């Protein structure tokens, strides 16, 4: 079974590499390699260390806000291409037609409101059940 997995996987990898090599005119190996390697380098040596560093002071923040921050950060990251809007074209207003900066702000506000509401809800429930709030985190 393992041999079959390695053979299939290895075959697919070789097929992909061969396809890129045979289409080098369109696949532009230099630019491809830059993006192939650049993504993982940016992730492993910039994005994650920055996230870890930001996580340290947030350890004492109540959980609903930490959840909200994780969701907000991920939505911001996913929406960056439309918010930056480099793909806009003067001749084609139907391409990236919305005010994405405003929309992202509205979404983040919604996430913040949800976090505040969730935090208030947990505090209220704790009080109603007559328990002292445990230390956050």
Site for another protein in 7-66 (CB under 8 A): 8-17, 19-20, 23, 26-28, 30-32, 34-37, 39-40, 43-44, 47-48, 51-53, 55-56, 59, 63
Least distance to another protein from the beta carbon of 112, Å?
13
Binding to another protein in span 93-132, by CB under 8 A: 93-98, 100, 103-104, 106-107, 111
Of the candidates 46, 50, 92, 109, which one interacts with another protein according to CB under 8 A? Answer: 92
Q: How many CB atoms lie within 10 A of CB 62?
A: 16
Task: For residue 45, give Cα distances in angstroms to 7, 13, 18, 51, 77.
Answer: 32, 25, 29, 11, 17
135 binds another protein (CB under 8 A): no
Per rule CB under 8 A, is residue 82 in the interface with another protein? yes
Residue 109 to residue 114: CA distance in whole angstroms: 9
- Residue 37 or 126: which CB sits closer to another protein? 37
From the list 50, 61, 65, 71, which residue makes contact with another protein (rule: CB under 8 A)?
71
Q: Could you give the residue ranges of the DSSP H alpha helices within the chain?
A: 2-22, 24-27, 29-42, 48-55, 63-84, 100-128
CA distance 49 to 102: 29
CB of 75 to another protein, least distance (A): 6
Q: Output the smallest distance, CB 119 to another protein, in A.
A: 14
The partner residues of 92 in beta bridges, in order of sequence, read: 89
């Amino acid at each position: 079974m393992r041999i079959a997995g390695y053979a299939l996987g290895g075959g697919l990898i070789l097929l992909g590499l061969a396809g890129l090599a045979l289409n080098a005119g369109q696949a532009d190996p230099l630019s491809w390699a830059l993006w192939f390697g650049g993504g993982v380098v940016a992730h492993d040596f910039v994005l994650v260390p920055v996230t870890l560093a930001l996580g340290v002071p947030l350890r004492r923040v109540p959980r609903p806000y930490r959840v909200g921050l994780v969701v907000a950060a991920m939505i911001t990251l996913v929406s960056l291409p439309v918010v930056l809007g480099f793909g806009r074209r003067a001749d084609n207003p139907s391409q990236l037609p919305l005010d994405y900066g405003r929309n992202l702000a509205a979404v983040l506000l919604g996430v913040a409101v949800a976090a505040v509401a969730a935090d208030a809800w947990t505090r209220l429930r704790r009080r109603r059940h007559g328990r002292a709030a445990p230390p956050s985190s």
